[in-house]
Amino acid sequence: MTGEVKIAPSILSANLAKLGEEVRAIDAAGCDYIHVDVMDGHFVPNLTFGPPIIQCIRPHTDKPFDVHLMINPALPYLKDYAEAGADIITVHAEADKHLDRSLQLIRSLGKKAGVSLNPNTPETLLEYVLDKVDLILVMSVNPGFGGQKFIMTQLEKIQRIRNMIGDRPIELEVDGGLSSETAASVVKAGADVLVAGSAVFNSDDYATAIGALRNAIS
């Protein structure tokens, strides 16, 4: 574990009509990262945020932007997302043909590099890039839409990846179906960053929702 567990609300579940206000609200509520799910309607069946949206909401918070690129290819767009204000850029192992090249480029742009795995993707794909990643994101639902149910078989994968990481300074993030009911199991398995969409934004009080997640894992 790299330290205290971080909470990263996904703005995919926010009120998009007032996105800047929503970002300020989760910042004030005590989140650690702002999670931005980028989808292209090709790699996953949904369309979401491009670099101009990230650039527009960047002034609303100083919290790190944790940008998850569910796009294929990702390599041609990495510089655009870096310049828009991303702090962590995560690409999918299943997307770009040359994962190593993408991770090297992200770091060369001065950003932290992440790699994500879909539920049916084996963690063995990570073996040869562990020296080039700052974050590993395990998808505990099939990517594309919020509000899905946590896939319990991912707990074993999280444990195996935690063992692979060892004492390397790599954060282990989990995204999908997280709530106060599932958060404790995920952290026990080895995660130290939790992405929460509906669990935060479906609440009338974001601070209470984030607090509930922290209480569940304490």
Which residue numbers are catalytic? 37, 175
Identify whether the C-beta of residue 174 lies closer than 8 Å to the C-beta of residue 191.
Answer: yes
Token pair in block for residue 179: 């709530």
Q: What angle do CA 166, 172, 174 make, to 5 degrees?
A: 145
Euclidean distance between CA atoms 156 and 175, whole angstroms: 15
DSSP string computed for 42-67: SSSS-B---HHHHHHHGGG--SPEEE
Euclidean distance between CA atoms 73 and 77, whole angstroms: 8
Tracing tokens 């703005």 back to the chain, one arrives at: 11
